Amino acid sequence: MNPAPVAEAPAMSAHAFRLEARLSVRQAQKIDSANLVWIKSAAAQTINITGPLGVQVAKISQSSGDAAMLSRGDAAPIERAETVDALVTQALGVTIRVERIIDWVQLIGLPANGETVTLKIDGTDWQVSAETTQQLRGQIIAQRLVARSGDTSIKLFIDDWQNLHAPQEHVPK
């Protein structure tokens, strides 16, 4: 069965957002799970990755124009890289461009009906689907996202999403 083709998405990716999600990464017989909180603004971004019991696995941070830094727990940064992608690869053990994940969360390049599409990322084919969708703060986004390439599978369960540049609905306290 061939994956469905993707029409050009009309939406633009959020450049400032807050994402809370649960993550599962499977490579061959190894399965890891984590929680992540990713906050990005025009000036900086931080990705906090914690284990299932809340213990910090990694914190990746980067300010505009600076190298990305990886720290674990309360320790000083232990690794530096030019891109956040390199440190996410180190922390999670899977190579993927993280800005693509934000596009997928927003259904950019993906059909909202759960169909699988094949996307080429840095020369590698990924089969990606938004298996379920949800509406959060007035935006339709993925609820369960699955990406597969070879023996690698990434599953993302989006718990909360906020486009920090979009008009926000008023939520009474």
pLDDT band of residue 159 (cuts 50, 70, 90) is: very high
Look at residue 45 in the predicted model and tell me its pLDDT.
93
pTM: predicted TM-score of the whole model, two decimal places: 0.82
Instruction: List, for residues 4-40, the tens digit of each pLDDT value.
Output: 433 333 357 788 999 999 999 998 888 888 999 999 9
Q: Report the distance separating Cα 66 and Cα 83, nearest Å.
A: 9
Instruction: List, for residues 48-99, the tens digit of each pLDDT value.
Output: 999 877 788 889 999 988 899 998 876 666 888 888 988 888 888 788 788 8
| CB-based contact 153:25 (threshold 8 Å) | yes
Residue labelled with tokens 């906090």: 48
